[in-house]
Structure 1
Amino acid sequence: MIMPVMRATPAKWSWTGLVDTWSLGNPGSRKKAFAVPDNYPPEFRRQMVELVRARRTPQELAKEFQPSAQSIRVWVRQADLDGGRRQDG
């Protein structure tokens, strides 16, 4: 059986069928594809919730604005819980 030879820098060796996991654990090797805000202001979230309640879908709002459709759904769910519209939280 032939075994791969590991050198001082694991990123330089390769073997067909193996994954280079060294680069997966190296924080410097990962780069964001695009900038995503860490947090949206509460007023922006309230506006998204109001738009969903006015029959706009989270998908169309996600296309028009930056947050994902899932984020918008979570905001609506949380607003419903906070407002007493839901009891399943």
Structure 2
Amino acid sequence: MTDTSYGLCVDGESGTLWEWEENAVVTPRFDSLSDYLEEMADALETPGLAVGPTPGVARGALMWGEPSDPDVKDAWVPLA
């Protein structure tokens, strides 16, 4: 298993959502929080059309993409 840190942050002035990684790489990802939430809702409504990681469920938790942890990977079920 690989430990990585990553996430999204919102620019308070422009509203742009940025994706960040542990090695300080910051990349614009969505023009606004609304765009991000709309894309996530679309992916949940029609998982087969999702761009990027496929939504799924493991042990009652929503997860984006198949997990790398073997214990969780066996429990993961894609929504598509």
| TM-score normalised according to structure 1 size | 0.23
The structure with more strand, counted as a fraction of residues = 2
| Larger relative contact order (Cα-Cα within 8 Å, sequence gap ≥ 6) | 2
The structure with more helix, counted as a fraction of residues = 1
